[in-house]
Every structure is written in C-alpha cells, then in structure tokens.
Amino acid sequence: MSQRPCVLITGVSTGIGLDASRHLIANGYRVFGSVRKAADAERVQQELGEQFSPLLFDVTDAPAIAAAVEQVQQALGDAGLCALVNNSGVSGAAPLMHVPMEEVRQMFEVNVFGLLQVTQAFLPLLGARSNCPHAPGRIINISSISGGLVFPFVGAYGGSKHAVEAFSDALRRELGIFGIQVSAIEPGNIRTPIWEKSPEADTRFANTAYAPYMAKMPALLAKMGREGAPPELVSKTILRALQAPRAKSRYPLTPLWRVSRLFGDSLLDRLTKSAMGIK
C-alpha cells in the first residue's frame, strides 16, 4: 500500500462523504470511510478503488467503532491519521411544539454524541497521546448554516448543529496541547441524494396549527435541493482545511452565515419566516 497521508471520513455511502472521499483520493490521500451497510461498503470500494478502505460502523455503535479503530491501527502501524472528517449526520423537519422527543434524541445521538464518540475513539491515532511517533492530525467537523442561523421547523437539527459548533470550539482549544487543529465547515444547501427522496407531507401534524406549512414542506425541500450548491464545494473546502499551514476555525460556505451576524433578531425572524412561508 502506498505511503499516502490517511484520512478517516464518516458517512461516505452517498453525498458529501462520497464526493469528499473521491476528491481526496484524487489529490493523493488514502481514505478510510465509514458506512452502515456491507452492500454500501462493497459499492463504494468498487467505485473508489484501492486507495479506499471501508469501515463498517454506525457512529452510535461504540463496539463497532472500537473494532474500526483496531482495523485502522493495524493498517497504519505508526503512521497515524492525518485527519478525521466527521461528516455523518441526519436531518428532519417538524415544529418543536409537536415533534416527538425520541426524534430529537435520535438526531442528537447521531449529530452530536456520535460525532464526539468517534472523535474520542480515534484521537490517539490523530496524535493525542504521549510520545506519539507521527505528526498531529486534524479534525474537520461538517456543521451547517443551521449552526448559526435556525429556520422554522428545523429547530432540532439546528440545535444539534449549534452543539457541533460548541464542540468544535472546545476541541480546538483543548487539543492544542497536542498540536491538533480543529475546524468546522458550514455549508448551506448542498445537492445530495437526500433531497431526491421528496418525502410526502408529514401527516402527523394535520390537526395542528402548523398543518398548512408542513403540507408545503416536500415542495420546499425539493426546491432547496435543486438550488443547492454542488458537493464539490464542501470537498474542496475539506482539502483546503487539510492542506493549510494553519487551518481556519470556521469555513462558512454561504453568505447567510455572515449576514446573520449583521442583522438583528427582529429582521432575522421576518426573513426566516418568510423563507418558510410563515405569515
């Protein structure tokens, strides 16, 4: 196996994770990528070739993560990882007044607790240990515009991404003693297969005051997907964060991130409600 620098990316079966794996391999990296299904592991392996190594684990499954750490460690020896890209995540739309708590907990389990669990497990391979034989690696967390600006009906998702922002800040400040740099990438809408599913209207809220808005949600999500940026935008930013002598703490990929810091809450309330069709 070639002595390429090695990166671990979570959630590579489709979308940003798959495109980032392809882009990094094309730019001289070896990629370990997590998937949840054996069929996806085989498919992605065939597509990306010998510089890709699939890892079969869910970010909420501690024993499977531990097995993946051992697999990567055996493959790398003393070389270590040059980066961990925490990409796995789930989303959803529902009014906070009525969303079932199990859905909120599951979103945090994947987007927040899973991210930290994977990070803790792989930190020794990134150089967070005494007498480490290799240079320190980097951590890149895929956050979202929702980590700074939350639209109606995505409050649970936005809350989880706010937590990712907080974890990124704390990890960056804590892991400096090992020389490990931490960045958060904050995309807006990205064209990925998740938008192509075009879910039907969520009828659970048909007897609530939010029924008219939830009925419009499938069409709105489809429109957001069509108008989203290509996943290459995120992949190229990951590469920049990997190769910069000093990585930025944040990489906002939509003007909304900066604009949201200039407007007051009243104006933002009007703009976000208008965007979601709320009167």
Q: What is the pTM of this model?
A: 0.93
Q: Is residue 221 part of a domain?
A: no
Q: Is residue 167 part of a domain?
A: yes
Q: What pLDDT was estimated at residue 200?
A: 62
Sign of CA dihedral 113, 13, 235, 252: negative
Question: Is 29 one of the catalytic residues?
Answer: no
Residue 91 belongs to domain spanning:
6-195+230-261
Q: Is residue 141 part of a domain?
A: yes
Q: What pLDDT was estimated at residue 195?
A: 59
| Tally of domains in the chain | 1
Catalytic-labelled residue, pool 157, 210, 213, 251:
157
CB 137 within 8 A of CB 178: no
Instruction: Give the residue ranges of the chain where pLDDT is below 50.
Output: 1-2, 198
Q: Is residue 216 part of a domain?
A: no
Q: Is residue 204 part of a domain?
A: no
* CATH number, domain containing residue 85: 3.40.50.720
Q: Is residue 159 part of a domain?
A: yes
Q: Which of 179, 226, 231, 221 is nearest to 200 (CA)?
A: 221
Q: What pLDDT was estimated at residue 1?
A: 44
